[in-house]
Amino acid sequence: MFDRLQAVEDRYERLNELLSDPDIVNDPKKLREFSKEQSDIQETVEAFREYKEVREQFQDAKVMLEDKLDTEMREMVKEELSELSGRMEELEGRLKILLIPKDPNDDKNVIMEIRGAAGGDEAALFAGDLYRMYSRFAEAQGWKTEVIEASSTGVGGYKEIIFMINGSGAYSKMKFENGAHRVQRVPETESGGRIHTSTATVACLPEAEEVEIEIHEKDIRVDTFASSGPGGQSVNTTMSAVRLTHLPTGTVVSCQDEKSQIKNKEKAMKVLRARVYDKFQQEAQAEYDQQRKSAVGTGDRSERIRTYNFPQNRVTDHRIGLTIQKLDQILQGKLDEVVDALIMEEQSRKLEAASNV
């Protein structure tokens, strides 16, 4: 492990030199690439340097014990050794986690798609609850949310809503939301007080940049049509809505949220690029392993991952057996306890896999 850490530190120093090179400074692509690489390993290097410093202090303290010390001083040195040993152990654990290969998508923005599934109007209402939950969580993280496309119902929910979350590390926390979410509650329209079960599906896609996936104009069919949603007379009477079809994969994306056809096309293109990128990623992974099915937060999106039980104010994440009696708080966007538990579980699995290699 320490050989790997030393190699990371050496690379960090080399990147410092490269980022001072005039040829690199004048090359925006390389400058961005090397700056990101340095930023990605900076935390690991800082933790490794602290570990080496603490280890040196520990060795110095051990040498001191060999000297002739009075009782009081000897006890002080022993206490310092105990503290330094504990800190070394903490740093070793942290360094093991930092050496886990990072998901290259973790720092990316997110495109989320929520659809009401089984349950009719109640499923659509639940889809609206999930959208508001994610929006509030994003706001608490300092991220920005932007609706791309929404198909609302007359009862206040959504048949489908697609939105983007812009913020550093958004995908690293939101990627665990892929799958089917189940709600158990008494619908407002239920006069008999019976509990109904409905579902909504969530897809979380990392935003794909143009350099990561090339989509040719000749492979896209563009259709325009009049918007059908709210937005005033100008929206409903002009051909501002856009539908993009990626012919090689059959992927279709529509957007009518903006009054401008150009803006709608830009938004639709972001979703299209993310869906095609996600499709290629899944196909590539499926060829050589079952990682997407076994890892926390990935796998089949039809899989039920979480239940929201209103009568008992309970949320259960079925993947890790986590149950929290704070449904009201979670729907207000306080998802940290759930997300942190999923991140820890993922890290534990990766550590176990690394130790078995």
Q: What is the pLDDT of residues 143-169, one digit of tens each?
A: 999 988 888 887 778 999 999 999 988
Which residue among 98, 121, 143 closes a domain? Answer: 98
User: Is 337 inside any structural domain?
Assistant: yes
Q: What is the domain extent for residue 38?
A: 2-98
> Taking the CA of residue 336 as centre, how many other CA atoms within 13 Å lie in the half-sphere pointing to its CB?
4
Which residue among 225, 259, 286 closes a domain? Answer: 286
What is the tens place of the pLDDT at every residue in 1-40?
Answer: 788 888 888 998 999 899 988 988 888 888 888 888 888 8
d(CA 121, CA 238) in angstroms, rounded, equals: 30
Greater pLDDT, 313 or 153: 313
Q: Average pLDDT in the 175-192 region?
A: 84
Q: Is 84 within 8 Å of 174 (Cβ atoms)?
A: no
pLDDT reported for residue 237: 55
d(CA 174, CA 297) in angstroms, rounded, equals: 9
Look at the pTM and tell me if it is higher than 0.75.
Answer: no
* Three-state DSSP state, 130: helix
Residues 235 and 265 in one domain: yes
User: Is 6 inside any structural domain?
Assistant: yes
Q: Percentage of the chain with pLDDT > 90?
A: 32
Greater pLDDT, 257 or 324: 324
Measuring CA to CA, which residue among 85, 305, 83 is closest to residue 179? 305
> Taking the CA of residue 4 as centre, how many other CA atoms within 13 Å lie in the half-sphere pointing to its CB?
10
Residues 187 and 222 in one domain: no
Q: How many domains does the chain have?
A: 3
Greater pLDDT, 159 or 239: 159
Q: Average pLDDT in the 328-339 region?
A: 94
Residues 334 and 266 in one domain: no
Residues 25 and 165 in one domain: no
DSSP 167: S
Bridge-partner residues for 314, per DSSP? 309
d(CA 297, CA 293) in angstroms, rounded, equals: 9
User: Is 32 inside any structural domain?
Assistant: yes
Q: Report whether pLDDT(301) > 50.
A: no
